[in-house]
Structure formats: C-alpha cells, structure tokens
Structure 1
Amino acid sequence: MKAEFTLITDTGSQALVADISQLVVAGWAGRDRAAIDHHIEELAAIGVPRPSSVPLYYRIGHNQLTQEENLQVLGGDSSGEVETFVFAVNGELFVSISSDHTDRKLESVSVAFSKQACIKPVGRDAWRHADVAEYWDELVVRAWIEENGERVLYQEGTLDSLQNPLDLIAGYVGGAGTLPDGTGMTCGTMGAIGGIRPSAVFDMELFDPRRKRSIRHRYVTDSLPVIA
C-alpha cells in the first residue's frame, strides 16, 4: 500500500511516500504492568480472551491500511483505538497517527482475526522520529467520539504509559535496530474513558507539547448490514 504523507519539520514540509508492504499491530504494549492488566480486564469484560504474553505482535494484511476518511465496516460492533504509527523509509524512522480499528464481537473469539477484519486508518502528516525521540514520553495522544450528537473525549494520555517504539521494534525484529523499509507498526493504546464502545466518528490527535504541533486524523464509518 502506498501511503502518501506530508513530512512536517522545523523548516517546512515536503512529500514523503511510504510503500508499506508489512503492517504490524503491537498489542498489550503498556509500559506499566498495572495499566496493561487494566486494559486486559477492560477487554475481558466484553469477552476478549487474555493474551498469552505481552507484548504481542499481530501481522495484518497491508491492504488494510488506509488514509481515507470515509470507510465502511461490517455491522455495528467495531470501534477505534488511537495509536502512534511508526514506519521506515530509506532506513529512517518516521511517526504518524493511526487507529487500530477492531471488531469487538469477533475479538471475543479471536483477537488476531478481529484486527485483520478491520481497516487501519492512518494520518496524512508525519514527523521524523529523530525530532521527537528525546522527549517521546511527553507526546500526547487523544481521541474523541460522537455520542448523541456531541463530541466526547474517548482516550487521552502521554506516551510514558506505553512502551517506547524502539523497544517494541527491538522485540519484533529480535534485537536492536530499526524497522525494515516498508514496515509500519502501530504502537499500543490506552484505556477508553467510560469503557470501550462504538462510534461512527473517530477523531484522533498526536500532540507535541514542545513544538506546539499536532498530527490529526478523523474518519467516519458506515456500517454495512450483517447478512446471515
């Protein structure tokens, strides 16, 4: 999948094209074991099996990655999760934002199948990882949903609650190093405020408090009928 980004730097912007041929979802990627256990229990409450180990790396078909804003999903049981998205181009690591959109009903049967079944929206802007690596833990991710016509804060937190992407990459590739060119990885999420629930609108943000800039992406889902 060819993903086209606008690379934002301190001196301006330029086009950046990433040919994503491998897509990885890093699950159960919390840094604080108590927070991981909270998310495990949060999902267990809706019937999701507990993981065999943490973190886990789910390979997803790269065709599931999209930068579109109007999407179709099957049924009404899926929901988004805001995550940072790291990817490699010409040996360099870049950062954007993504949603690990997941079918919650299918998740109670198989987490891997539930993730593969849903599209993975990713933003259109990116930063160099090197520009934010020194203060990665200070970055903030947020997501909003719509309920009864109102915009509601759904997730929010600093990245110090999640594993550093370099540690996740090391766990995936089996040692120190960066992602292979053409590989993209979502880097874990945090608990939902008020519990996991679906929304046709998912609005997400990665905020850099030092440079006072954000990467944002909003998408809307149309639920297709489940025909038996």
Structure 2
Amino acid sequence: MKLSFQTESTSLNVDIHTLIIAGWAGRDIAAIEHHIEELAALGIQRPSAVPLYYRVSSNQLTQSSAVQVLGGESSGEVETFVFNAGGELYVSIASDHTDRKLEAHSVAFSKQACVKPVASAAWKLADVADYWDELVIRSWIKEDGKEVLYQEGTLASLRTPQDLIARFTDGKQILPEGCGMTCGTVGAIGGIRPATSFTMELFDPRRQRALRHSYEAEILAEVA
C-alpha cells in the first residue's frame, strides 16, 4: 500500500507491503491485565503471548478521512505507527480499528476485518527517541453529538518501538524496508465502545506539536 507522509523537512512516499499490529505491548503488567479484562468483558479470550504480533494485509491501510465498516460493533484505538523509509525509522499515528463482535471469535480475524486509518504526517523517530516516554497519545469519539475524550496516556506505559522491533526481528534495531508496525494502545476511558467518529493525536510536549488525524466510519448493513 502506497502512503504519503509530510515531515518537517520533506515529503515521503512509502510502499508498505508488511503490516504488523503489536498487541499487548504495555510495559506495566497491571496495565496489560486491565486491557485484557476490558476485552474479556466483551467475551474475548486472553492472548497466547505478550507482546503478540498480528499480521494484517497491508491494503487495509488508508489515509482517508472516510472509511466503511460492516455492522455497528467496531471501534478505533490510537497507536503510534513506525515505519522504515530509506533506511530511517519514522513515527506517525494509526487507528487499529477493530470489529469487537468478531474479536470475541478471533482477534486476528477482527483486526483483518477493518481498515487501519493512518495520519498523513510523520516525525523522524530519532528526533523524539530520547524523550519517547513523555509523548502522549489521545483519542476522542463523538457521543450524542459531543466530542468525548476516549483515550489518553503517555507512551511510558507502552514498550518502546525499539523493544518491539527487536522482539519481532530477533534482535535487529530497524524494521525491514516497506514494513510498518503499530505499537500498542492505552485503555479506553469508560470502557471500549463503538463510535463512528474518531480523532487521534500524538502530542509532543517538549516541542508543542502534534500529529493528528480524524475519520468518520460509515456503517454498512449486515445482510444474510
């Protein structure tokens, strides 16, 4: 899937052919358990390993502000998104939009069932690596016509991209060219629930800047 990103100094055109969703990526075991319990309340089985790397078709990536989903049981999750472009790692944000009803049957299939919206801006990972833990991810949904804070937390609660990459590549410090990886999420405020409007943000408090993306999900009717 070809994606275009704007950085502070240049434009990037990247062909992502391998998409990895890093699940259960928290550093804090208690936080991981909290998220597992959130999903268990929806009937979703515990993971077989922590962290766990799901493969999703790269053509599920999109930078559109309008997506389509089947049925009304899906929801977004803000995650950092790291990728290799020209031998250098960059970071953006993505939503691991997931069908929660299908997730109770198979997490892997539920992730494949929904597109993964990605922002159109990115930073060099090296520019924020030294203070990675200070970065904040947030998301908002609309409920009853009002925007509501849905997720918020610093990246200190999640494994670093370098850690996740090393575990996935058997010790290497960089993803292969054309590979993109989402790096985990934080818990939902008030519990996981579906929403058709989703806004996500990666905030850099030192430089007072943010990567941000919003999208609307059109619900397609389930027919039998």
TM-score bin (small chain):
over 0.9
- Residue in structure 1 matching 2:212, options 203, 211, 216: 216
- C-alpha displacement at 1:144, in angstroms? 0.2
Hey, what's the Cα distance between the residues in 2 that align with 1:63 and 1:19?
10
Question: Amino acid of the residue matched to residue 159 of structure 1?
Answer: L
State yes or no: 1:186 paired with 2:154.
no
- C-alpha displacement at 1:206, in angstroms? 0.3
Q: For 1:168-183, what aligned pairs fall within 5 Å after superposition?
A: 168-183=164-179
Hey, what's the Cα distance between the residues in 1 that align with 2:208 and 2:173?
29
- C-alpha displacement at 1:176, in angstroms? 2.9
Gaps of 5+ in 1: none
Match of 1:40 in 2: 36
Q: For 1:70-219, what aligned pairs fall within 5 Å after superposition?
A: 70-219=66-215
Question: Amino acid of the residue matched to residue 20 of structure 2?
Answer: V
Hey, what's the Cα distance between the residues in 1 that align with 2:173 and 2:119?
25
Q: CA RMSD in A?
A: 0.5
Question: Amino acid of the residue matched to residue 6 of structure 2?
Answer: T
Hey, what's the Cα distance between the residues in 2 that align with 1:83 and 1:150?
23
Hey, what's the Cα distance between the residues in 2 that align with 1:89 and 1:180?
9
Question: Amino acid of the residue matched to residue 113 of structure 2?
Answer: A
Deviations 1:168-219 (A, max 9, x none): 0001111132000100000000110000001110000000001110000000
Gaps of 5+ in 2: none
Hey, what's the Cα distance between the residues in 1 that align with 2:48 and 2:89?
29
Hey, what's the Cα distance between the residues in 1 that align with 2:29 and 2:166?
19
Structure 1 stretches of 4+ with a deviation exceeding 6 A read: none
Question: Amino acid of the residue matched to residue 13 of structure 2?
Answer: V
Match of 1:14 in 2: 10
Paired residues, number: 224
Identity of aligned residues (%): 66
Hey, what's the Cα distance between the residues in 2 that align with 1:113 and 1:2?
23
